[in-house]
Chain A
Amino acid sequence: MVMNKDLHTLSMANEPWNGEPLDTVLQANLTRLREVFDACPDLIIREFLLPDGRRGGVLYVNGLIDVDRLDRDLLHPLVAAPPRPPQWEHGMPAPGLPLPGGQLLGRMGEVVQKILDGVVVLLLDGETAAQAFGIPGGKARNITEPVTERSLRGPKEGFVEDLQTNLSLLRRIIKTPRLKVEEGLAGRLTRTNIALVYIQGLVRPGVLDEVRSRLGRIQIDGVLDSGYLEEFIEDHPYSLFPQILDTQRPDVVAAHLLEGRFAILCAGSPNALLAPIQLWSFLQSVEDYYERYLISSLLRILRFSFAAVSVLLPALYVSVIAFHHELIPTALVMTVARAREGVPFPAVVEALLMEVAFEALREAGIRLPASIGPTVSIVGALIIGEAAVRAGIVSAPAVIIVSTTGIASFVIPRIGAVNAVRMLRFLMLLFAGAFGLYGITIMSLFVLIHLASMRSFGAPYLSPWTTLRLWEWLDLFIRAPRWIERRRITVAAAGGPLRQGPHLKPGRASDRDGNKQD
């Protein structure tokens, strides 16, 4: 493997000071560190005098630590302590400090690394090692409900940018030592902490090896969001379809962990990645599992149908208008024909124009401040749309179709699936424009072949439909009552065949105990 040389030199491992041992003279160390952190005014170096007359220094990055605690729990005890010099050569961290023990650092590289990680580093004159204390502080976002994944019922917690907080959120839900977290780094310059989370015994071992090796292959300057990782580890990089589920909800992550999937959390990103995933998961909402099964099932069917509508409707419109006029009921055909009379564009062009306009409007709306957003959509949708229809540039049915499609796409709960649907819609439209219904059918076949050949970390993407494990259909288009779904979903999971006990269906106590005498 030939690596990019520039990248390589920027990596910390290649810096000349990386392997240097620390000097016993404090000032020498500080000077060297000042050189390394040249033009980094956020590096704070505070020097002080120990009671025994030695000089010491603490180093940290401004804003990453709790300065009050630093003063109270580290500096004050050190400076005011009885003259019993801190000794840590023998591996025992500074005694008598009301702080969790520090870690010994012998090399310059380690010191630099720790400082950048947001840890306080303590250097003392005459010592060949520095000591690191975690005194985290600084600003962090509160745990709030994720804006993009609201639910009426169920937990309101959402991930934040801090990895440790996120892991703790998970641990709070799944209290078993089998919940394993493997930590690692990604990004040569950002050195982002990532964590691979799974439940030992549920996840298939092969899957873990695979994901470890895929994560290990990543060589990149920076990882700013888990999305960076997603593109490196997905199975089918050219596919329109998302192969990894991202969520900001700890409960969603926990649910998938319990089904034998693994999660990847990434520091600085509230989005956890979940895999191996199946197509259907993108159409299932977490609330399905919190609401009662009947309404959940109906909503799920609604969602599936509207996802189909969202992909197919404009294409169907075009193919019916421009190819198969006999398919419109007679009563409707006159209405449609009258509405389209005088529209200068062919139906395909009209639909494409409208769809593009809709997408633009949507894109414009997303990033505008809340105060302007509605204005834009009113101007765009109402005024321009109405004027265009009145002027006869587009027909009213096309507007109806496009807006219905838009609404339908909002029914899909996961943005990844929405995006796939948006792109598919245009492909369908093109084929419908050329071959009508036959084109749509062929395009659907193409999509199907593609989906059927896809795998997400070894699990077939269309499973359980294609794997014919019919009991798993109970949680596919519908959500069967929980007391029916006894068997474990095996798409991804290892572990025993059952996931809950028998006879859980609520009923009279006598029935439940198998005691038939009333």
Chain B
Amino acid sequence: MFLLGIPLVNGTVVLFVPSLMATVGGRDGWMAPLLAPLSIVMLVALLGPLIRRWPDQSFIQVAQSTLGRWVGGLLGAVFSVWAFHTNAIILRQFGDFIKGTVLIRTPILIVQLLILLAVIWVARAGLEVLARCAAVLVPIDALFLMTIVVLGIRESRFQNLLPVLEHGITPVLRAALIPSAWVSELVCLAFLWPRLNQPRQGPAVLVSASIWTSLNLAVGSLIGIATFGPTVAKVTFSLFAVARVVSIAEFLERIEPLLMIVWVSDNFIKISVFHYVATESLRQSLGLRERKPLVIPGAALMLVLAAASLDSTVEMADWLMHVWPLYSPLVTFGIPIIALCAGLWRMASRGSRA
């Protein structure tokens, strides 16, 4: 479960976000992710009681049982739409990256279709299989990332990080909004709580996963800034650029495929989790019995959304920087909180009646 959470955020973040953060936070951008887990801690603190009260129900089910089928279902549907939409964005980013760096002339649709095939397969095989895949992939990915970082250290100059906090803490805080929006995607894991072996460990898992990803992100952007200095804000995929720079003895160089593998596998898990969450929340809010029939139409919907939502990488970056940090937390925090409040209110009223 912990292992599911890591690629969930890592997937997109390590590649894309450092340069966004550097744009806002300058050379102190690497500190921003260290603050991001705070949002998760907050969320967990809020959700804690919810989990304890209904350990075997997702917050949508809780919302349905407390607010009634329709309102709860509506909330669930909003959450589901958010998950689908986010997933489409992820898919789009993924496609853009692959198309921009590896497969220039292959239609983006094919690129996305291939990974969707894997996603559909695993979605039909179930959550357990997905978790097992994550258990295999995460150590490999960690190893590859570590290789890149360690090799990258040779090329980096940590003086580039100086001066620290030149413009005070404010840019850092503003930059922290970006990764916390991503980290808040971990709320998907909260949705999976009821499926945990020991649901009570959920909060701990969530927090540790968020800390781990934040550290990851911090290290990733640290190395990016140390290598490229302020240029990092101008590089679209900074860790990818670091990987391209690495050269040991003129032979151990050109290691960027490692990063591509990490990126593909992380994204596979990420898209799969989101797909699971999206379809499962849809199932719950519609009150369907089976999830499987939703899998393939959901994937098709995502493919369409991914193609239709944004025109270019420029729009994407703009959207990710300005809209996303508000939109995403609104849903990821808002809905569980509404569910929670409703639950508590119902509990309180029932308590007073009794």
Chain B interface size band reads 20 to 34
Task: Determine the chain B residues whose CB is within 8 A of the CB of A446 once the complex forms.
Answer: 117-118, 121
Closest to B261 in A: A441
Known A-B contacts A327-B254, A462-B136; A441 and B125 likewise in contact (beta carbons under 8 Å): no
Say yes or no: B129 contacts A437, CB within 8 Å. Answer: no
Say yes or no: B260 contacts A462, CB within 8 Å. Answer: no
Say yes or no: B136 contacts A324, CB within 8 Å. Answer: no
Q: In this assembly, does B102 line the interface, its C-beta being within 8 Å of a C-beta of chain A? A: yes
Q: In this assembly, does A448 line the interface, its C-beta being within 8 Å of a C-beta of chain B? A: yes
Say yes or no: B135 contacts A437, CB within 8 Å. Answer: no
Q: In this assembly, does A453 line the interface, its C-beta being within 8 Å of a C-beta of chain B? A: yes
Say yes or no: B250 contacts A449, CB within 8 Å. Answer: no
Known A-B contacts A329-B254, A438-B102, A438-B103; A452 and B133 likewise in contact (beta carbons under 8 Å): yes
Say yes or no: B118 contacts A449, CB within 8 Å. Answer: yes
Bound CA span A263–B287, Å:
47
Say yes or no: A435 contacts B103, CB within 8 Å. Answer: yes
Main DSSP-derived SS at the B contact region:
helix
Bound CA span A324–B102, Å:
8
Q: In this assembly, does B35 line the interface, its C-beta being within 8 Å of a C-beta of chain A? A: no
Determine which of A438, A466, A468 lies in contact with B264 in the assembled complex, contact meaning CB atoms within 8 Å.
Answer: A438
Task: Determine the chain A residues whose CB is within 8 A of the CB of B253 once the complex forms.
Answer: 329
Task: Determine the chain B residues whose CB is within 8 A of the CB of A462 once the complex forms.
Answer: 132, 136
Q: In this assembly, does A326 line the interface, its C-beta being within 8 Å of a C-beta of chain B? A: yes
Q: In this assembly, does B257 line the interface, its C-beta being within 8 Å of a C-beta of chain A? A: yes
Task: Determine the chain A residues whose CB is within 8 A of the CB of B51 once the complex forms.
Answer: none
Bound CA span A445–B266, Å:
11
Q: In this assembly, does A436 line the interface, its C-beta being within 8 Å of a C-beta of chain B? A: yes
Determine which of A326, A331, A441, A465 lies in contact with B254 in the assembled complex, contact meaning CB atoms within 8 Å.
Answer: A326
Q: In this assembly, does B122 line the interface, its C-beta being within 8 Å of a C-beta of chain A? A: yes
Say yes or no: A436 contacts B115, CB within 8 Å. Answer: no
Chain A interface size band reads 20 to 34
Contact with A along B96-124 (1 / 0, CB 8 A): 00100011001000010011011001100
Bound CA span A442–B117, Å:
9
Q: In this assembly, does A118 line the interface, its C-beta being within 8 Å of a C-beta of chain B? A: no
- Chain B residues 206 to 253 lying within 8 A of chain A, measured CB to CB, are 250-251, 253
- Chain B residues 85 to 100 lying within 8 A of chain A, measured CB to CB, are 98
Known A-B contacts A438-B98, A460-B132, A465-B135; A329 and B251 likewise in contact (beta carbons under 8 Å): yes
Closest to B268 in A: A445
* B259 CB, nearest partner CB in chain A, Å: 11
Determine which of B106, B115, B133 lies in contact with A448 in the assembled complex, contact meaning CB atoms within 8 Å.
Answer: B133
Say yes or no: B250 contacts A329, CB within 8 Å. Answer: yes
Say yes or no: B121 contacts A449, CB within 8 Å. Answer: yes
Contact with A along B131-148 (1 / 0, CB 8 A): 111011100000000000
Task: Determine the chain B residues whose CB is within 8 A of the CB of A465 once the complex forms.
Answer: 135-136
Determine which of A324, A435, A449, A453 lies in contact with B257 in the assembled complex, contact meaning CB atoms within 8 Å.
Answer: A324
Say yes or no: A442 contacts B264, CB within 8 Å. Answer: yes
Task: Determine the chain A residues whose CB is within 8 A of the CB of B118 once the complex forms.
Answer: 442, 445-446, 449
Contact with B along A428-466 (1 / 0, CB 8 A): 000000011111011001101100110000001010011
Bound CA span A446–B114, Å:
10
Task: Determine the chain B residues whose CB is within 8 A of the CB of A324 once the complex forms.
Answer: 102, 257
* A27 CB, nearest partner CB in chain B, Å: 68
Known A-B contacts A329-B250, A441-B264, A442-B115; A449 and B133 likewise in contact (beta carbons under 8 Å): yes
Task: Determine the chain B residues whose CB is within 8 A of the CB of A452 once the complex forms.
Answer: 122, 125, 129-130, 132-133, 136
Contact with B along A314-344 (1 / 0, CB 8 A): 0000000001101111010000000000000
Known A-B contacts A329-B251, A453-B125; A438 and B260 likewise in contact (beta carbons under 8 Å): yes
Known A-B contacts A436-B102, A436-B103, A441-B264; A449 and B115 likewise in contact (beta carbons under 8 Å): no
Task: Determine the chain B residues whose CB is within 8 A of the CB of A441 once the complex forms.
Answer: 260-261, 264-265
Q: Among A323, A329, A453, A462, which residue has the most Cβ atoms of chain B within 10 A?
A: A453
Say yes or no: B132 contacts A442, CB within 8 Å. Answer: no
Closest to A452 in B: B132
Bound CA span A326–B264, Å:
20
Closest to B250 in A: A329
Closest to B256 in A: A327
Task: Determine the chain A residues whose CB is within 8 A of the CB of B133 once the complex forms.
Answer: 445, 448-449, 452
Task: Determine the chain A residues whose CB is within 8 A of the CB of B137 once the complex forms.
Answer: 448
Task: Determine the chain A residues whose CB is within 8 A of the CB of B261 once the complex forms.
Answer: 437, 441
Say yes or no: A468 contacts B254, CB within 8 Å. Answer: no
Bound CA span A438–B103, Å:
8
Closest to B255 in A: A327
Bound CA span A515–B47, Å:
54
Task: Determine the chain A residues whose CB is within 8 A of the CB of B132 once the complex forms.
Answer: 452-453, 460, 462, 466
Bound CA span A436–B261, Å:
12
A interface residues, Cβ below 8 angstroms from B: 323-324, 326-329, 331, 435-439, 441-442, 445-446, 448-449, 452-453, 460, 462, 465-468
A–B pairs, 17, beta carbons within 8 Å: A327-B257, A329-B254, A331-B251, A438-B98, A438-B102, A438-B260, A441-B260, A442-B118, A442-B264, A445-B265, A446-B121, A448-B136, A449-B125, A452-B130, A453-B132, A466-B132, A468-B3
B interface residues, Cβ below 8 angstroms from A: 3, 98, 102-103, 106, 111, 114-115, 117-118, 121-122, 125-126, 129-133, 135-137, 250-251, 253-254, 256-257, 260-261, 264-265, 268
* Minimum-distance CB pairs A-B, first 6: A466-B132, A452-B132, A453-B129, A466-B135, A453-B125, A441-B264
